[in-house]
Structure 1
Amino acid sequence: MDVEIAHVTPPGANLFAELGFTPEEARQYHEEARLHIKQALALKEQLMAELVLWMEEHKLKQAEAAHILHVTRPRVSDVVNKKTAKFTIDSLVEMLARAGKSVSLEVRNHITAKSG
Structure 2
Amino acid sequence: MATNSYHNVWDALTDSPEEALNLRLRSQLMMECSELVKKWNIPQKDAAKRLHITQPRLNDLLNGKITKFSLDALVNLLSNADMRVEVKVKQRKAAKEPAHA
Distance in 1 of aligned mates of 2:16 and 2:46: 36
| TM-align CA RMSD | 1.3
User: Which runs of structure 2 are paired with 1:67-106 in the superposition (5 Å)?
Assistant: 67-106=49-88
Q: Alpha-carbon deviation of 1:83?
A: 1.1
Structure 1 residue corresponding to 2:43, chosen from 61, 77, 95: 61
Residues paired across the two proteins, number: 84
Which structure has the larger Rg?
1
Structure 1 residue corresponding to 2:20, chosen from 35, 38, 55: 38
Give SS of 2:49's match. helix
Structure 1 unmatched runs, 5+: 1-32
Bigger Cα displacement from structure 2, 55-64 vs 90-99: 55-64
Using the size of structure 1 for normalisation, the TM-score is 0.67
Per-residue CA shift, 1:41-82, capped at 9, x if unaligned?
111111111111111211022211111111111111111111
**Other-structure match for 2:4:** none
Structure 2 unmatched runs, 5+: 1-14
Distance in 2 of aligned mates of 1:115 and 1:82: 41
